[in-house]
Amino acid sequence: MSRVREIAPQGVDAAYDIAGQGALPDSIELRGAERIITIADPTGTSLAIPLSTAMATDGDRILAEAAQTAIDGKLRIVIAADLPLVDAAKAMAQSETGHAQGKIVLHP
């Protein structure tokens, strides 16, 4: 929480908990109980925090379409970089720029 306070001393506008594991009390301290939602902590309801459990209802169809795309040979995976494992730090730096045009592959 101290890292959040450092970059947002005025507090935060909203919080979206995807971590669970007791993160909600910190979020409430930063934001108050309004504009917080969790997908990871079912105990949040006892703190008046909504639990979102919405799931895609057509997941089976989407998976089947993706599988058929692969079967048909139409699945294209763009490789932005192919690096040896010793260059993992370089790969991470490239990934963190947010500008990698494809997947970054590390190999032994």
Percent of residues, the chain, with pLDDT higher than 70: 96
pLDDT tens across 82-103, in order? 999 999 999 999 988 878 888 9
Confidence (pLDDT) at 72: 94
Would you say 97 and 90 are in contact if contact means Cβ atoms under 8 Å apart? Answer: no
pLDDT tens across 26-41, in order? 888 888 878 899 988 8
Helix (H) or strand (E) holding 93: helix 88-96
Q: Above 80 in pLDDT, residue 55?
A: no
Would you say 40 and 53 are in contact if contact means Cβ atoms under 8 Å apart? Answer: no
pTM above 0.85, yes or no: no
